[in-house]
Amino acid sequence: MDGVLIPKDSSTDDYQLHLEKDILKLTDDACKQIIILSKSSYTPFMKLTTPKRREVIDALLDLEIFSKMSNLLKLKITSNNLEIQNNSKDIKSEENKLELVNSHIKNLDEEFDKKNEESLKQIKTFENTIKECESDLLLLEPKLDELKKKKEKLSILVKTEEKLNNKINEIKCEIEKLNNHKHLSGICPTCNQEISESIVKIEEEKRKQKIGILEVQIVKLQSQIDQLSIGLEDLKMVNIDISTNEGYIDQHKRTIEQEKYKIQILNENIKKQSYDKTKLLSSIDVIELRIKELNEEREKLLKEKAAHDVCVMLLKDNGIKATVIQNYIPEFNRLINKYLSDMNAFYSFELNENFDEKISSRHRDEFVYDNFSEGEKQRIDLAILFTWREIAKTRNSMSSNLVIFDEVLDGSLDGEGIDDLLKILSTLNGSIFVISHSSDMIEYFNKTIEIKKLNNFSEIEY
C-alpha cells in the first residue's frame, strides 16, 4: 500500500480478506462485476442467483453495513432470547423455592407442637430412668463397700495358704534330698576307710526315720490347708459378688450418662426446630427480593426484545435496504438503457426491486435475458458493468480507474458492437486492459503488449 509491501498474513484467506476489506473495498464477486471481466471466471450479473445479485448491489450501494448490522442484531436477539429464557427459568426456580419454603414452614408449624410434646414425654421417661438408676446406686454402692471389707479380711487366708504351701514344698525338697542321698557301702567316700555293715544299717534307719517325720509334717500342713478351704470358698464368692455389683454399678452409671445425652439431644432439637423456622422466614424475604429483581430485569429484557423486533423489520430486505434500492432502481435502469443505446441495442431494459429483468422491444414485445443471442447478451452485460462503475463512482464506494477484459470480446461482439464498445471505453478515465488471442483486435488500440512463448518461457514484447 502506497509503495510499501504489506506483511503477508499466515493465512491466505486472511490476506485475501485484507485485500478486499482495506484496499479494494469490495468483494471478489463485486470486483468481477465492476473491474475484471474474465471469460473463465466472470459470471454476468444476469446469470447470478438472486441472493448473489443482492450481494453485488449491497456492496455497490454500501448496503453491506445493514447486513453487518443484521448479523450483529441476530447475535443480540439470540443473546436476548437466551437471557429471557434464563430469566424465566430463574423466576420459576425462585417461585418454586418460595412455595417449598412456605410449605415447609407450614409443615413445621403443624409438626413442631407434636414433636415437642413427644420430645418432652421422652425426656420425662429418661429422667425417670435416671432416678431409678440413682436409687439403685444408693443400695449397690454401700453393699459393694461391705463386700470389699469382707474381702480384705478373707485375703489373710490366702496368705496363710500360700505360707503353708511354701512349707510343704520345702519339706518335699528335704525328702527328695534324703531319697537321693547315696547309701553307705563298703568304703567311706570321704576317708576311703572301710565301714562296717552294722554302721551302714544304723545310718539307713536314721534316714528313714527323718523321712517319716517329714511326711507326718506334710500331712499336718495339708490338714491346715484343708481347714482353710472353707474360708477360701467364701472369698471366691465374695469376689464374684464384688464383680457382679461393680458390673451393675457401671451399667447404671452408663445408663445415666446415655439418658442424659438423649435428653441433651432432644433439648437441642427443640431449639434447632425453632431456629430453622426463623431462618426459613428470613430466607423468604431474600427469595421475594430476588423475584422482584428478576421481574424488573425481565421488563428490561422485554423492552430490548421489542426494540430488536423493530430493528429486524427495518433491517429486512424489504426494510431500509428496499427503500434505498427503490430510490436507485430508476437510476440503474436509466444508465443501463443509456449504455445499451450507445451500443445500438434498441430495446428497453428494466430491473425491478427483486433484480428480475423485463426487456421490451420497440414493438413492446417482452423478453428475458436468455432469449437473446450471445452478442446481445454481451451488450447487456457490458451496459450493466458500465452502470455499476458509474454508480460506484457517484457513491464513492468502489470507484476504480481500472477495467480489464480477459478474452471477453473474442467472438462475442461483431465489428459494430466492438466499435460501439470502444466509443464507451474512450470516455472512461484510467487504465483499460483488453486481453485477447485474436490479432484482429490490435487495430482498435493505440498500445499493445504481446506475450509470446519461447522454449516454454513467456516473453513480453512492447
Residue 100 lies in a domain: no
Rounded to whole angstroms, the Cα distance separating 414 from 412 reads 7
What are the cell numbers at 196? 562296717
Residue 236 lies in a domain: yes
Query: Do 124 and 268 share a domain, yes or no?
Result: yes
In this prediction, residue 297 carries a pLDDT of: 94
Listed residues 260, 285, 310: the one ending a domain? 285
Residue 435 lies in a domain: yes
Q: What are phi and psi of 405, to 5 degrees?
A: -110, 110
Contact 381, 44 (CB under 8 A): yes
Query: Do 32 and 145 share a domain, yes or no?
Result: no
Residue 419 lies in a domain: yes
Give me the residue label for grid cell 455499476. 388
Maximum CA pair distance of the chain?
A: 186
Taking the whole predicted model, whether its pTM rises above 0.95 is answered as: no
- Continuous segment of H or E residues that includes residue 67: helix 64-180
Rounded to whole angstroms, the Cα distance separating 446 from 432 reads 12
Query: Do 347 and 280 share a domain, yes or no?
Result: no
Query: Do 278 and 331 share a domain, yes or no?
Result: no
At 174-228, the pLDDT tens digits run 777 777 765 545 566 666 667 667 776 777 777 777 777 777 777 777 777 666 6
At 231-261, the pLDDT tens digits run 666 667 777 777 888 788 888 888 888 888 8
Instruction: Provide the CATH number for the domain around residue 384.
Output: 3.40.50.300
In whole angstroms, how far apart are CA 322 and each of 69, 190, 263, 333?
15, 152, 84, 16
**Residues linked to residue 412 through DSSP beta bridges, in sequence order:** none
Query: Do 134 and 187 share a domain, yes or no?
Result: yes
What are the cell numbers at 376? 446481445
Query: Do 279 and 137 share a domain, yes or no?
Result: yes
For residue 9, give the DSSP letter. P
Query: Do 267 and 328 share a domain, yes or no?
Result: no
Contact 413, 345 (CB under 8 A): no
At 415-444, the pLDDT tens digits run 666 777 777 776 766 677 888 777 777 777
Contact 400, 389 (CB under 8 A): yes
Question: How many residues can be counted in the chain?
Answer: 462
Query: Do 269 and 352 share a domain, yes or no?
Result: no
Closest CA to 292 of 87, 104, 82: 87
Query: Do 181 and 32 share a domain, yes or no?
Result: no
Listed residues 267, 285, 303: the one ending a domain? 285
Residue type, 288: E
Residue 78 lies in a domain: no
In this prediction, residue 290 carries a pLDDT of: 93
Residue 297 lies in a domain: no
**Who wins on pLDDT, 333 or 138?**
333
Query: Do 233 and 328 share a domain, yes or no?
Result: no
Query: Do 279 and 358 share a domain, yes or no?
Result: no
Containing domain of residue 170, as a range?
115-285
Query: Do 437 and 348 share a domain, yes or no?
Result: yes
Listed residues 230, 264, 285: the one ending a domain? 285
Rounded to whole angstroms, the Cα distance separating 237 from 162 reads 19
Rounded to whole angstroms, the Cα distance separating 181 from 178 reads 5
* Total domain count, the chain: 2
414: left (phi over 0), alpha (psi -120 to 50) or beta: beta
Residue 405 lies in a domain: yes
Residue 83 lies in a domain: no
At 341-370, the pLDDT tens digits run 888 888 888 988 888 888 887 666 788 888
Report DSSP letters for 129-169, one per residue: HHHHHHHHHHHHHHHHHHHHHHHHHHHHHHHHHHHHHHHHH
Give me the residue label for grid cell 434505498. 324
